[in-house]
Chains A and B, each alone.
Chain A
Amino acid sequence: MKSSFILIVVISLFGTFVKAQTPWVVPDDKKGLLAPIKFSDDTRKLGLEIYNKTCVSCHGHPGQPDQAKLVPPPADPASKVYQQNLDGELFYKITEGRGLMPSFKKMLKSEEIWNIISYVRTFNKEYVQKVGASDSSSGVKGKVTAKLNYTVKNNKIEVKVIQQINKMPINGAKLSLYAKRNFGWLPLDEIRSSNSLGIITFNYPNDLPGDKDGNVNVKINMANADGTEQTIIDTIIKTEVKRSQYNLLDNRTMWNVRSMAPIWLVLSYCGAVLAAWGVIFYIIWILLRIRKSGSETSN
């Protein structure tokens, strides 16, 4: 059982490597994608910040040979091979990921990915940006409003998406559900499409702890045409699973402050100190009696 599991893991890893070594082909319809924004010093600056947070650990500092030692090696963004990618290709690769390169579509907004691209392009002197058509990032045209409805009884979250302008329900919008945890956003359920009434029903887990009142911060993301997501709802729902707030410093313990020392310890310490010093003072009292007795005798 165990060995077959290992075998599966080895084979899939091997498969990954083999796959990773083949050229990374970007679908033709994605290649030509252009940034909806004009790259500027601002976008480059923002891009650098994101790069240093999410990319540098593997890709290193562009132009320096400090990329992570992985197989296949992460490309140096300053390299010629890297810069030969079109903007659309870079966007696709960052969004989708492959093998050890993670997909960033759930972690970064499309705008943030474009900022990274604008930053890495500073290492290509010959690069001239072509700006794409104005905001085409959304798969759904126009502004969207959504309404979330959570029912405790059957643990369902129902979302209705409609066009803001004409209040018409949106059919086929791809939505995903997340809950906020300490480490970030946890995906719940799967990506679901809205029906003709613009309604999507997510299954909400019945064991996900909220805070001490059962409150959970959830968000609904809608997929854009370029593969990224935009948040359409970010709200707090009240669930029945409350986190028991147990503070280790509430009781008298060894690791607590002095005023919360265990009673037996306080009594032992004070008892021992009082006993020892009580005897010492008793001895001093005896000495005083010796002195007194001596002065009486000599008188």
Chain B
Amino acid sequence: MDEKTKSGIIHDLLKSVKLNNGFYLWMAFLSVSLVFCLTAYYQQLTTGLGVTGLRDYISWGMYISNFVFFVASSLIGMLISSVLGLTGQKWITPITRMAEIIAFAFAAVAGLVIVSDMGRPERLLNVFIHGRFQSPILWDVTVVTTYVMISLLLFIVPMVPDLAIAYNNRTDLPKWQRLLYKLLSLNWVGSKEQKDLLHKAIRILLILVIPVALAIHTVTSWLFAVTPRAGWNSTIFGPYFVTGAFVTGVASVIIAMYVFRKIYHLQDYIKEIHFDKIGKLLVLVSLVYLYFNINEFLVPGYKMPKHESITLHSLFNGGHAIMFWFVQLAGLVIPIFLLLLKKFRKPTPLLIIGIFVFIGAWLKRYLIVVPTQEHPFLPIQNVPQSYTFYQPTFTEICITLASFILVLIIVSVLAKVFPLIPIQETIDERNNKTESHEE
């Protein structure tokens, strides 16, 4: 199978770019769902945040949990392309672009999720006009914007040679798509000067994205950790969030790998070995995250300081206990043990585990955001009963779903319109392999 010719690889990897009926159907389904969910947003916009379950005491709910989750998921681009790429891991080649698409989609929609949490979204610009340097909110807005830009560049720049290939090889595509390829391929002819420049640009981007990605999720954690409240008042929140983000991101990539491999028939490119490798990666990042979880809960749980004990008990054996233990066990501990066995690192079992980790990761964000607010330092007095707990409403769930649909739309379009697996890199790698065989 490895002996595929260059033209064979090009043919295989460009097969998916033509928009077909299946794609149109899928997009129609997503669009209709999105419109349905956006009516909920229209309701929220005209009526106000009263349509949500958010009240005076618990004013951050599903939206903010979802925002944290989206930011977390977007970190995968940095992990796969930069950390693994710069350390010379070759197996990541077929999934780098996928990871960048996921990173860009989640980061871009994360910004919108924040807007959905605003009662007066038309005042968004005030964050920039009147933002205080002292406030993590300004840092967060800044760093999310920067990260979206870098993710977009990391998606497009390495793709430049592929776009030239696509432009030259797929003359049958519609005019707009060829024009898009021509425009973004930057007159690529593959000269040494161009290769050197491109290599330089990618190299700088891969280094730049590391501090920015660390910053985006560290700052997100600081939105919580700079307050002295029980459950948020933690010095390890930065690395705790970042490592948690890697778990979420790897799970997203596993799901994407499985799905695209199936529908684009990429079995020759995304092989079982890739699932095996990313399964091992998931074990690694989960172990690190487990380590942080133990620190985050065992140490305060051992001390049980009075002001934190209410929140901790609500997680360990109170109202949030079922969700908490589901997240820790089904979303973290059991996957680690299962993935240590080779047979669970096959595509289908890995997909199922990935889905559990993904759901666990989302619920984990909910557990970070909500329970703390249910237990303020001052007693909750003279308010209706409904103010003392948080229950997301149907409207809220619809708007949250809308953000997921938006991510799916972005991922679907980018993965369809552009070649999903890097063509030039695949060809180069196989050439190198053949050469080294000949030597």
A residues near B (Cβ < 8 Å) are 254-258, 261-262, 265-266, 269, 272-273, 276-277, 279-280, 282-284, 286-287, 289-295, 297-298
On chain B, the residues within 8 Å of A269 by CB distance are 133, 138-139, 142
A294 & B191 in contact (Cβ 8 Å cutoff): yes
Choice from A262, A276, A290, A295 contacting B197 with Cβ under 8 Å: A290
Interface residues of B in 171-222 (CB under 8 A from A): 186-189, 191, 193-194, 197-198, 200-201, 204-205, 208, 212, 215
B132 & A286 in contact (Cβ 8 Å cutoff): no
A18 to B131, CA, bound (A): 64
A290 to B187, CA, bound (A): 8
A254-B134, A258-B130, A294-B194 known; A276 vs B208 contact (CB < 8 Å) = yes
Main SS class of interface, B: helix
A257-B132, A261-B132, A261-B134 known; A283 vs B204 contact (CB < 8 Å) = yes
A290 & B188 in contact (Cβ 8 Å cutoff): yes
Q: Chain A interface: which of B145-153, B350-358, B418-426? A: B145-153
A-B contact pairs, 12 of them (CB 8 A): A258-B131, A265-B134, A282-B204, A283-B201, A286-B200, A290-B160, A290-B197, A290-B198, A290-B201, A292-B187, A293-B191, A297-B189
On chain A, the residues within 8 Å of B194 by CB distance are 290, 293-294, 297
CB-CB nearest in chain A for B198: A290
On chain B, the residues within 8 Å of A277 by CB distance are 146
Interface flags, B216-242, vs A, CB<8A=1, else 0: 000000000000000000000000000
CB distance from B294 to the nearest CB of A (A): 32
CB of B45 within 8 A of chain A?
Answer: no
CB of B338 within 8 A of chain A?
Answer: no
CB of B157 within 8 A of chain A?
Answer: yes
B212 & A276 in contact (Cβ 8 Å cutoff): yes
A286 to B160, CA, bound (A): 13
On chain B, the residues within 8 Å of A293 by CB distance are 187, 191, 193-194, 197
A265-B134, A280-B153, A298-B187 known; A289 vs B205 contact (CB < 8 Å) = no
On chain B, the residues within 8 Å of A294 by CB distance are 186-189, 191, 194
A297 to B215, CA, bound (A): 40
Closest 8 CB pairs of A and B: A294-B187, A291-B186, A261-B133, A286-B201, A258-B132, A295-B187, A290-B186, A297-B189
